Structure 1
Amino acid sequence: MRGLLPLLFSMPWTGQAAMAAPPLPAVTVLSTEALPEYPGKEAQMLVVEYPPGGADPVHRHDAHGFVYVLEGSIVMAVRGGKEVTLHAGQTFHEGPQDIHTVGRNASSTKPAKFLVLLLKNQGAPILTPTR
């Protein structure tokens, strides 16, 4: 073992790019509207753009989230659910108790864009990173 460690650390590390975090998406808030019929609640609409190879960290929304794919393809999953690949015109829902375990661009060469409608507590963050 003593001779193996120097050999291991002298080897060139070519896989650093593969270990780097994927590029994060760009998020644009389109509107935030109070829902007077539901005191303390609001609807927030956003556009999310994944660059090629882009992905989200594991997170939760503490909201009902409705996704509509505008361009490209995305892969989504919540804890306990199956991964689904969605294409332009398809939808996805996650509930307030769901942990969003997979959110990524299905392509490493083309961007993807989707619309999100969140029904959430007023002033609550868009997402909360979690494990």
Structure 2
Amino acid sequence: MRIHSSLSLLALLWTGAVAAHGQTGSEAPPPTVTPVMTQALRDYPGKEALMLAVEYPPGGADPVHRHDAHAFVYVIEGSIVMGVAGGKEVTLTPGQSFYEGPNDLHTVGRNASRDKPAKFVVVLLKDIDKPALIPAP
């Protein structure tokens, strides 16, 4: 089935990008990314919505990256710090959200706590043929 195989591939790519770059600032533990669903958007040919559940372990962080997509983040549990190049870092708690545009460089993505995990959902609106995550060079 296209949905499950595409989502499994995405999880592997995301995890691989984090592992390959291994530079989340201070060798912070990487996030766990669980694909939830993907859906082609019939009214927008060539576009899809991709939903991911992300968990930062205590002290966890992402490497610098971008999404060739509109990314919507919604915090479920814990507290996270997000930021894009040229913007201010923001600390988000449950019920708060964050937006990244297709040209934004995501420079900060980390758990605000060194003791508790943080969980959030990401929805990406993207071109079907584009990767969900592009590591920064």
Shorter-chain TM-score: which interval?
Answer: 0.7 to 0.9
Aligned residue in 1 for 2:131: 125
Shift in Å, 1:27: 0.3
Q: Work out whether 1:94 is the aligned partner of 2:100.
A: yes
Aligned residue in 2 for 1:14: none
Q: Work out whether 1:110 is the aligned partner of 2:116.
A: yes
CA–CA distance in 2 between the matches of 1:64 and 1:96? 5
> Which runs of no fewer than 5 residues in structure 1 stay unpaired?
1-18
Shift in Å, 1:69: 0.1
- Scaled by the length of structure 1, the TM-score of the pair is 0.84
Letter matched to residue 88 of structure 2: K
Using the aligned pairs only, state the percent identity.
68
Give a deviation string over 1:37-62, Cα, whole Å, max 9, x none.
11110000010000000000000001
Shift in Å, 1:124: 2.1
- Scaled by the length of structure 2, the TM-score of the pair is 0.80
Letter matched to residue 62 of structure 2: D
Report the structure, 1 or 2, having the larger helix content.
2
Q: Work out whether 1:75 is the aligned partner of 2:81.
A: yes
Equivalent in 21, 27, 32 of residue 21 of structure 1: 27
The two structures, once aligned, show a CA RMSD in angstroms of 1.1
Shift in Å, 1:74: 0.1
> Which runs of no fewer than 5 residues in structure 2 stay unpaired?
1-24
Shift in Å, 1:123: 3.5
- How many residue pairs align between the two structures? 113
Give a deviation string over 1:84-113, Cα, whole Å, max 9, x none.
000000000010000000000000010000
Aligned residue in 1 for 2:64: 58
1:36 is paired with a residue of what secondary structure? coil
Equivalent in 4, 20, 42 of residue 36 of structure 1: 42
Shift in Å, 1:126: 1.7
Aligned residue in 2 for 1:11: none
Shift in Å, 1:20: 5.0
1:83–1:20 Cα change, 3 Å? closer
- Larger deviation, residues 120-129 vs 21-30: 120-129
1:123–1:29 Cα change, 3 Å? farther
